Structure formats: C-alpha cells, structure tokens
Amino acid sequence: KKVKLSSSRGALIVLEGLDRSGKTSQSTKLLSYMEGLGCPAELWRFPDRNTNVGQMISSYLSNQTQLDDQTIHLLYSANRWEKRYLMEDKLKSGTTLVIDRYSYSGVAFSSAKGLDFEWCKAPEKGLLAPDVVLYLDIPPETLLYVPLQKAAERGGYGGERYERLDFQKKVEEKYQALRDPSWKIIDACLSMEEVQKQLREHVMDCITSCKNGKPLSQ
C-alpha cells in the first residue's frame, strides 16, 4: 500500500542477524561513510531503550523484570510503533535511516520461543516496509568464539536473555522462514572491511532508487 509518492526521499535500511553478528559495529561504520559523502542519514536501533516502553524492555532483558512472552512481544512492537510517524517524517524529508533490527527480529525472536508465527507478525502490520533488508549471516556456533574482552564488557557471555546457542539456532531457523528473495545476505564471517564494502554497495543502490521515486510502503 502506497503511503505517498515522493520525488526524493530517504531510504529505510534494515540490518538483521543473530546476536553478535556485527550489526552494531557495521551500522555505525555505515553511518560515518554516509556522513562523509554528505548523505543525510541517522542510525536507529530497536529496541530503542530510551523511551518508557524501551526501559521496560531493557529491564526485562537484564532479568530485572519478569514478563510473559506475549507481553514482551507486544512491548517490542509498541516500541517500533511509537517511532513510526517520526520515521515517516524523516524519510519524507530526505533522511536515510539505517536501523539496527526491526520487525524481523520481533517475529524471529518471539517465534523462536514458541509463540505462533502468524500471531507474532500481526502487530507489525502497518509499520513502514524497509527498502532493503541486509542480513548479516553467521553460523550460530560463532557465538562460542566471542572474544573474552567483548564478553566481559557485556557482562559475560549469555549475560542477557536469549544469548544461548540453542536459542540462537532456533532464531536462525525463524529468520530463514521470514527471508524473501529481496533480502541481501552478507557472509558476516568475511573480514570487517569486506562486509562493510558489500553493505555500502547495497546501501548506495538502495538510496539511489529511493531518490529516483521508489514509493514508501507499509
């Protein structure tokens, strides 16, 4: 469904992948690259832990709050909804948004816990559709080799909920079920530089097609 035809809008670029697939460092690098080119862009991430809803999610993730699976699922979704209209304004004003996780994380992580796949998708309907999904592909076993220093910074391996190998394997299966042929699958085991190079190519192609009038959809 078309929201509005715009002759020059920003692109909605989504990075997805398992925990520790490198999304955060790669998206930060992408932003500096775009800034260097003078391309208006912002880096967003979900969950956005700065809002009230985001603080509830953050408290849940650090095991300070207990919530049932359905409730936390809807909070993650609400956290995207509360940014939806700002997102649309930014895109229409020509700003490209690079987003570290979006609805696909919402469905993949919750359905990996055992919630019904279609039920998980329902509250995501009506959010803006990404112009491109960049999937950083790592074998879940890679989680076993996270450098000790990084694990320590994060409060130890498995410090947050979800960061266990068996669970990440299920998440990967769900991502595969969500995947469509338009996704760009990037081998995240390549060097940091090579991954970045491939991401930049996809991003620049996507920004060009949005500038050329590709409509925003939901």
The residue ranges that bind ligand DGP (CB under 6 A) are 19, 46-47, 61, 73, 76, 101, 105-106, 109-110, 162
Q: 33 touches which of Na ion, ligand DGP, none (CB within 5 to 8 A by kind)?
A: none
Chain residues that interact with Na ion, rule: CB under 5 A: 19, 137-138, 172
Asked if 164 and 158 count as a contact pair (C-beta separation under 8 A), the reply is yes
Q: Which is nearer to ligand DGP, 14 or 39 (CB)?
A: 14
Q: How far is the CB of 91 from ligand DGP (least distance, A)?
A: 21
Q: 110 touches which of ligand DGP, Na ion, none (CB within 5 to 8 A by kind)?
A: ligand DGP
- Residue 191's Cα: distance from chain center in Å? 21
Q: Which is nearer to ligand DGP, 90 or 101 (CB)?
A: 101
Q: How far is the CB of 106 from Na ion (least distance, A)?
A: 14
Q: How far is the CB of 35 from ligand DGP (least distance, A)?
A: 22
Q: How far is the CB of 39 from Na ion (least distance, A)?
A: 27
Q: 47 touches which of Na ion, ligand DGP, none (CB within 5 to 8 A by kind)?
A: ligand DGP
Asked if 10 and 43 count as a contact pair (C-beta separation under 8 A), the reply is no
Q: Which is nearer to Na ion, 9 or 20 (CB)?
A: 20
Q: Which is nearer to Na ion, 89 or 187 (CB)?
A: 187
Which pair of tokens denotes residue 105?
A: 């994380």
Q: Which residue has the tokens 């670029």?
A: 13
Q: What is the DSSP string of 128-164?
A: PPPSEEEEEE--GGGGGG--HHHHHHTTSTT-STT-S
Choose among 167, 177, 175: nearest CA to 69. Answer: 167
Q: 76 touches which of Na ion, ligand DGP, none (CB within 5 to 8 A by kind)?
A: ligand DGP
**Residue 127 DSSP one-character state:** B
As a residue count, the chain comes to 218
Distance CA 36, CA 186 (A): 23
Give Cα separations from 161 to 21, 52, 138, 168 (angstroms). 16, 20, 19, 11
Q: 3 touches which of Na ion, ligand DGP, none (CB within 5 to 8 A by kind)?
A: none
Q: How far is the CB of 113 from ligand DGP (least distance, A)?
A: 7
